[in-house]
Structure formats: C-alpha cells, structure tokens
Structure 1
C-alpha cells in the first residue's frame, strides 16, 4: 500500500469511534441527546455570533478574502472545530455543539422567506470557509459519507468526448471528471466551466467543491421549508418560543454582546465628565439621549432607563448618578426630584425594589423592545428616525469628528437594508480615522457594534492608545 494511503486509513481508524467523525457536516441528522434549555440557547447564540458577522460582511461588501478571515477568526472564538488530527481536543463535544446550534437556528430562521434566505446564505458561507480550511484527507472521507450522488466518468467516456472536454477552461488530459445533472452546478454552467451533454454536466475534479457547496445549499433550503411546515407545534412550548423569537432577530440587531453581562468597565467617571464623553465617545443612540436631556432638562421613562443603565455600565457610580440627574433635571426642586426620580435611579443600581443588578441594554434590546413614540427619545436612531432626520442628525453630531455628506449614501444604504448595527459600525470607523481606524476595521478585528457600551469603550481605548487620553480626566 502507498505511504499516503496508509496514512489516510490510519486516520480513519483512529477517528472511527467518534460519534461525529467528520469536521464537515451536511446536517442531515438532528441531535438526539437530551440538552438543557441553557445549552439549547447557548449553542445557538454562539453560532449566531458567527453568522451575524458573515451577514455584516455581506452588508459591507467585503472582499471574499476578508470575509473568509473574519469568519475563520469568529469561528475559532465561538464555535471552534478542530481537525481529526487534534486527538487531545474534545472533537465530539465541539461537533455536538456545532450540530445543536445549527438545528436550533433552523427553528428560529425558518419562519419567513426572508429569514430562510439570509440564513442559507450565511450558513453556506460558513460551510464554504470550513471546507477550504479542511485537509484533503478529511474532505475525501466527508465526500464518501455524504451521498452526493455523482458518477466518476470512465476512461472510455472521456475518450468519446475528448475533443469537447478540451474546450473546458484550464482543461488537462490528466483531468478526471464527475457527471451530475446540470441543475446541481448552476454556478459552473453560468461560467461555462463544464461540458453539457444531454442534461448532464461533466465537471472537472478540481471543481468538485462547487458540487458540494450547491448540494449543501439545496439540502438546507429543502430542510428549512420542511421545518417551517412542522413549526406550529413549537408554539405550545412556552419555554422555547421566546428564545427562538429572540434568535430570529439576530441579523437585524446583531447578537447581544457579552457587554450586557458587565456592570462597569471598572473605571469610574464623574457627573461633570458625561457631556464631553458623549461628544467624543458615545454612539448615536446615547448622543441623542444626552442632547435631548440637555435641551429639555428631562427624559421620559424608557429614555431614563436606556441612558441610566448605559451610564451605570460606563462607570457612573450611584452617588455620581444622583449628581448627574439632579443637575440635568433643572425644572424641579430637591423635594420634587427626590419624590419623582430618586427611587427609580436607585432601583437601576439594585438598591431598591427587587434589588436586581440590571445590565445595560444591548443593541438588540434597544432595537426590538419598547418601541419609541412620537415624543420619546429612546431607541435606535438608525431604525427609528426618518431618513431625513437621520441624515441631519448624523451631520450635526459627527461632522466635527470627520463625517461628511459624502459618507451618507453608504450609511443610508445599510440602514435601508436593515443592517442597523452595521451603519453604527461604519460611523465609528469614519469618526476614528485619526486613530488609524480604516474601513473594515470595525471596533476591532473587524467586529461590528452590538452594544452601546462596547462602542464607547472601544472609542475611549483608541484615544488612550493614541496618547491623547480623555481630556475630561485632567
């Protein structure tokens, strides 16, 4: 036996005991193990973090090489899948999580044609990146297990069509060919990279990946349609329905950042620092709340809730919060302020009522919950402002930091596509060019904004790294 063949056989023997023997998967077998509600949600959220970044890459028209790099780095962070050679790693555990997360998100994203389309596009991209980062031996074993229903073209048939096969781009006499129905490789047909004969496509083996990618996409589309038909019974489970409804919003709002679990960055700020910090470092939602507060000397309930929790996570202590809100609410005497607002402020800090330690609201919560009315100032400007008001506000708030009218078409394009967190991320990049932030850098490592405190922390960190420091700290 050839040395390389012995190596492949040895790998298969070593890993044949795995429940999930392949790093790649067509997801044709749903998980059968018992899982907790917490695991159900965690597996899906971690996977959605990766898919959401893929969606953001498409919204920003990133080149495929950049998309591939970001997808790989996000996968390594949230849903790593080690190669079969990594015998010291829990490969079955990784693949179990991957499989579970995929099937949970099927339940969340099968609910409408638009969600299914976006889910298929992101999942197919993730599969494609993984396929390209998989070893040749692992691909071979995956191909054998996938029931791809292709036929290897024998020598006699290749001789019969030799003159026509020579016309296939980059053709070589040594090429092997696979024969499939032409409908399974529409991308290759469009590019004229195959020979068509009587409804069959003769595909060079070097183009085999196109068959695999198309098969993955076709099977997933079919599976989502079937899942949608079977979904009504899920409405009876009151534990799962809220989780699935929340997950299905992931492409619009991004995935709730881990910032949501943090109460503070660990750096305290004072009441008199807030206004200058707002002009230098706050995302538009919080800039809008600060400017409304300065102009009207009051905020309605949901505005105080959104802004108060943000400032708390930013590092504003309860004592400084009392000073800040008291100075801002100039239309009240001390007694009126204490009666109307003191209890609510202390409640946000877990000092009254249930004494819960409330986290700051993520972009997803701001976008999807407590929709603002005509006289409210909370919410997300990218979603809740009219197009004209949004453009006017962007120029008013961020022109001093370098945003110009020439930037508006790109920002408004992402808003129109309902990629609101992508629009916010692009504003961050534009307003931080003096700190060497380029288009595509996001708030770091290409990531998009998913939490207002994440935006503010990244902005302040860039200023400190540039040597300027917060001027309000002097």
Structure 2
C-alpha cells in the first residue's frame, strides 16, 4: 500500500504543525501574503509600516547593486531587520510577535499599491521581496520551515520510484532524497542553471532544492497579485489621503529611503564656527552639499531652496544660529546685498529655519529622499542631487573636481556611472564615500558603517568627521609613544 508521499502528496506527516502557537493571530512568521489586512488601519500606521519595510527593501536593493555575497547580505540585513522590521520566531514568547507580524503584513500590502504602477517598479519590488522572503526562510528553524510548508497547498507531485528508475541510473537510495515533478516553466531558474533533470517537458527537482521551488512559487504568486493590484489601483484615485503617500513611497527607492538621520537634531562633539565651513566642505561634505558650497563661493549667493537645503544641513552639522548669520553674511558678497538688505530679506528666514521665528518649529535637515523628491530645478538653482540632476559628463567632471585630491580618479568613473544609469544614486554616493575614505581604512562594501548606504547628507558628513577624528587620535597616540 502506497504512502501519502508516494501518491504525490508532498506534505510529510505534519512535523512542526503542532508547535504552532494558538494564542497568535499570525501563527507563522513566513507569509505568502494571500489575504489583505481587513482590520481598521490608521493613516499613521499605514505610512509607518510601509516606510520601515521600504527601508529594508531599499537596503536589499543596495546589496544587489553592490554585488554582495549571500553571506555578506545576510550579515548586513540582520542588523537592518532589527532596526526597522524585526520579526521574531514563534519561540520568542516575551516579544510582541503579533504586533510585529501585523506591521509586516500591512507594510507589504501598502507597498504593493505603491509599486504596482509600472513594470520597472513591479520588477524591482518583486526582486527585493523575493530576497526578503529568502533571507527569512533561511533563518527559520527546520520545524517552522516545515510548519509553513504544511500550511500551504502546493500542487507539487512527488515522482514515483518507477518514474525515476527510467530516468536515473543507478537508482538513488532513499537516503539520497526524492524528486519533485513539475512543468519546467515553473522552475526556469533551476532549468537555466542545469540543476534539474528534464524529460517530456517536465522538470524533476531533487528534494534538496525544495526551497528553490518555494522561492519561485512566491515570486510567481507576487507577480500575479501585483498585476491584479494595478487593475484595482484606479479606485484609490479619489482618496486624497493615500495617493500622496503612495507617490512618495514609490519615489523613495531612488534615494534609498530616509534613514533615522531624518530625525537627528543633535550636533557632533566639535561645535562649528563660520570660519571652519570651508575646510569642512572640502573634506567631509557629500556631493550635493559640496556643490552648494562651491556655487555659494562662486556666485556670492544662493536662491531660496539652495539656502534652505544647505542651511538646515549646516545646522545639524553643529553650526549655531549666531555663527550661521556670520557665515551667510560673509558668503553673500554681492555688491547689491548690503547689511540692511541682508537683515531685511534674509536674516528672518535663517532664524526661522532654526525655530526662532514664525511657528518656531525645529526643522530637520533634508534627507536624500526629500532632496530627490523636491522635483526639477529651475534656472539658477543649485540645490538637488548631482547624481540625478547633472549630465553624465558634468557629473564626472564635478566628482573629480570635488574629490580628486582624496583618491577619486577617472578609473573609478565607469563603476560610478553604471550605478547612476541604473538609478542607484545613493549607492553611487556611498561608493564615492568609500573611495575617498579608503585612506582612513574604509573598504569597499563597508559604506558609512556596517555596510549601510548613504541616505542622508548629514549621515555622510558625520561619519566622515568621525573617521577623521579617529585618525587624528591614532596619530596623536603614536606621537606620544615616540616622545616617551
């Protein structure tokens, strides 16, 4: 008499199924996202869940762009998960598991709406989500992996010993595993890598590749769901609350999504003075701020959005309002800008950005995402992101001018321009950081720390200053040893 497995039912006796916690609304950590959330969701929860998940997907995409190995990706993403999207195993009874899984569930479906609009967005979303699924599944204990497999009704067939006898010579022993029989179109990735046996249009996949079949099933399922979501999307056009959020989310990938730096208002240990900005700009500023500084020195003036972008950046760098007024007054050296004109037309705006005028809000510096999403510049504007706004020729020239003395050379340009062409702007900026800080020991792939990409200009500047201070302290320590 044949067992269930020999008849084609691939689900083994429900190993691990009894370990599911009955006290949880989401008993499994893994999720195919078959059913959308049906409970009430606040706008704040809608946006927060999506942003945190987008931060994770953006870092995954950054790993792709930087050709990280599987092990490096796992190591880096483990830290990102803890920071933005923790999802503990069911054995962690003291953790808010249901709350974590609810957030994961909501975030996925919100991003479906944001990324279903174009073929390019769908492709990028699917690639990142599949990698997220793979990382989580690889981290699952065997019992929870099996519990998840048992929870799904996959129509995979287990090839019978008689079938395999005519295909394999000699026949594999029971201990060597079994084979699943599927149409080859369901596992094209395995067919391409020649990791299956083909016969009569069917692919025979060894049981050791079961996870690969699962990943492909998830990808196929997500592709179909995104197409269905795209058809339903026009119904949301009348909801003025959601559409702007979805627009912002879909644009966020270009900047790598704002990191926690968006909320940082503290300044580094060394307080800045107006006289220090020139040296700071040349040594530690990212291309967007370095460009603004160069334009300010060249023209003796910046237009409104340039002043806003650069002024808030300097504020978070540690420039006090008193020093800021000194800096901007000296920088505005055009003959037509008298002391009286400066006080009447500019001073109020600088004080306002520090929260000292108007509604007295403590404005944060602009993140990469906010800078990119600000839209096209008009004639005479200097703000924005050079990696997007400059032509390829102008960008190469500007980068070599800005960072040539810090190790960037023409041999680095092909790699950087390829990243820009693929719209991995934040990765290109991160790569510039790595190259120009190689003398301080930064290696390719380390980013601004723990493999993280640049997502905020102040994050770039702060890490650069930190590395410089570490190098200075090391040199001072070595000098003390020599003198002793």
TM-score by length of 2: 0.91
Is 1:224 equivalent to 2:222 in the alignment? no
Aligned to 2:340: 335
Structure-to-structure mapping, 1:193-204, within 5 angstroms: 193-204=195-206
Q: Which residue of 291, 295, 310 maps to 1:292? A: 295
| Shift, 1:388, TM fit | 1.1
Q: Which moved more, 1:82-91 or 1:439-448?
A: 82-91
CA distance in 2, matches of 1:205, 1:114: 33
- Deviates further, 367-376 or 393-402: 367-376
> 1:85-121, CA deviations, whole angstroms, 9 ceiling, x for partnerless residues?
2222222221111111111110100010000000000
Task: Note if contact 2:306-2:383 (Cα within 8 Å) is conserved in structure 1.
Answer: yes
- Correspondences of 1:391-410 after superposition (within 5 Å): 391-410=396-415
The yes-or-no answer on 1:254 pairing with 2:256 is yes
Please name the residue that 2:371 is paired with: 366
**Which whole-Å CA distance do the structure 1 matches of 2:243 and 2:283 have between them?**
40
1:305 aligns with 2:297: no
Report the CA distance between 1:445 and its aligned residue: 0.6
* Deviations, residues 123-168 of structure 1 (Å, cap 9, x unaligned): 00111111111111111111111222112223343334443876xx
2:18 equivalent in structure 1: 12
Tell me the distance in 1 between the aligned counterparts of 2:379 and 2:106: 42
Residue 444 of structure 1 is matched in structure 2 by 449
> Residue 363 of structure 1 contacts residue 452 of structure 1 at CA under 8 Å; is this kept in 2?
yes
Q: CA–CA distance in 2 between the matches of 1:7 and 1:238? A: 47
Partner SS, residue 264 of structure 1: coil
State whether structure 2 residue 113 is matched by structure 1 residue 107.
Answer: yes
Structure 2, unaligned stretches of length 5 or more? 1-11, 477-484
Shift of 1:355: 2.0
Partner of 2:91: 85
Alignment of 1:51-450 (within 5 A): 51-163=57-169, 174-265=176-267, 267=269, 268-331=271-334, 332-450=337-455
Structure 1 residues 322 and 43: alpha-carbon distance in aligned structure 2, compared to 1, 3 A threshold: same
String of CA shifts for 1:11-37, please: whole Å, max 9, x gaps.
Answer: 724513322111111111111221211
Aligned to 2:40: 34
Q: CA deviation at 1:73?
A: 2.4
Report the 3-state secondary structure (helix = DSSP H, G, I; strand = E; otherwise coil) of the residue aligned with 2:148: helix
- Paired with 2:70 and 2:205, the residues of 1 have a C-alpha distance of 24
Provide closer, same or farther for how the CA distance between residues 308 and 92 of structure 1 changes in structure 2, counting only shifts above 3 A: same
Q: Is the 8 A contact 1:264 1:312 kept in 2?
A: no
SS of the residue aligned with 1:391?
A: helix
Q: How many residues align?
A: 462
In 1: Cα distance, 2:97 partner to 2:160 partner: 37
Distance across 2 between alignment mates of 1:74 and 1:416:
26
For the structure 1 residues 377 and 470, does the alpha-carbon distance in structure 2 shift closer, same or farther, using more than 3 Å as the test? farther
- In structure 1, what is the Cα distance between the partners aligned to 2:35 and 2:77? 24
Name the SS for the 1:467 alignment partner.
helix
Assess if the C-alpha contact under 8 Å between 1:164 and 1:195 holds in 2: no
- In 2, distance between residues paired with 1:431 and 1:211? 43
Tell me, yes or no, if the aligned pair for 1:309 and 1:358 is still in contact at 8 Å.
yes
Q: Deviations over 1:270-312 (max 9, x none)?
A: 1111111111110011111111111111111111111011111
Q: Distance in 1 between matches of 2:414 and 2:370?
A: 26
C-alpha contact (below 8 Å) 1:30/1:103 kept by paired residues = yes
2:28 maps to: 22
In 1, the alpha carbon distance for the partners of 2:305 and 2:214 equals 50
CA distance in 2, matches of 1:391, 1:237: 43
Matched-pair contact (CA < 8 Å) for 1:51–1:123: yes
Match of 1:49 among 55, 64, 72: 55
How much does 1:423 deviate? 0.8
Paired with 1:455 and 1:233, the residues of 2 have a C-alpha distance of: 41
CA-atom RMSD in angstroms: 2.1
Question: 1:392-416, CA deviations, whole angstroms, 9 ceiling, x for partnerless residues?
Answer: 1111110111111111111111111
Cα deviations by residue, 1:20-78 (Å, 9 ceiling, x for unpaired)? 11111111111122121111111111111110011111112222322232223212221
CA deviation after TM superposition for structure 1 residue 257, in Å: 2.1
